[in-house]
Amino acid sequence: MDLRGTISPHRPLLVLALAEEAVHLDADLPVLLTGMGKVNATLALASTLARGPLPASVVNLGTAGALRPGYHGVHEVSSVRQHDLDTDFLRTLTGQTVGAPLALAGTGPVLATGDQFVADDDARDRLARHADLVDMEGYALAATAQHFGVPVRLVKQVSDAAGDGAERTWQESVDACARLLAQWTREHLRHT
């Protein structure tokens, strides 16, 4: 975990997993780097929000794999679900709903979050039945921000096709993705 800048109740907190994704961001907004995966994301954001002050919003910026053809560029996510938690089975087993999908603002794509870098055609095709994009932190960050009553936005730049060879594609595209995320931030968060 690495917090850069000072959190203010009048400005958003930018939250990213890796320094490579944040390298081109302007220094005028606070940035929290969480590390990869749901556990790191939850721990970093929860401990930051618990210390206070709370930011005006949490904006998760990051890369995502496309689960369906035609997804390129930057997308703001409309809902997020966990792909590595069997919510339906757990409901049958316990009668409780655990890890239900989270609705966010807008009409953008559905994001699937899990502690797996999807670089396999079969896994991608299975996830594409319920989602459009895949990442490793979005659900954890959205759930944590909502727990603290802080508005949250998930903004994802497509870095790869989440299939065979995705790890190579991500490595080759992460810097260009970081530039596009920084541009989105300048265009959409300039007056916040």
pLDDT score for 111: 96
Where residue 67 falls among pLDDT bands split at 50, 70, 90?
A: very high
Kindly tell me if the per-residue pLDDT of 192 is higher than 50.
no
The answer to whether residue 191 scores a pLDDT higher than 60 is no
Dist. CA 28–CA 190, nearest whole Å:
10
What pLDDT is recorded for position 106?
78
Per-residue pLDDT for 93 more than 90? no
Q: Which amino acid is at 110?
A: V
Q: Where are the domains of the chain?
A: 2-188
Q: Please write the tens of the pLDDT for every residue from 7-65.
A: 999 999 999 999 999 999 987 899 999 999 999 999 999 999 999 999 999 999 999 99
Q: Hey, what are 62's tokens?
A: 């990051």
- Are 83 and 112 in contact by the 8 Å Cβ rule? The answer is yes
Tens digits of residue pLDDT in 106-157: 789 999 999 988 888 998 999 999 999 999 999 999 999 999 999 999 999 9
CATH 3.40.50.1580 fits 2-188, yes or no: yes
Distance CA(45)–CA(28), nearest Å, equals 19
**Confidence grade of residue 89 (pLDDT, cut at 50, 70, 90):** low
Strand partners of residue 75: 156
At 190, is the pLDDT very low, low, confident or very high (cuts 50, 70, 90)?
low
pLDDT greater than 80 at residue 176:
yes
**Residue 97 pLDDT class (50, 70, 90 cuts):** low
At residue 87, the pLDDT reads 65
How far CA 55 is from CA of 15, 45, 128, in Å, comes to 11, 11, 33
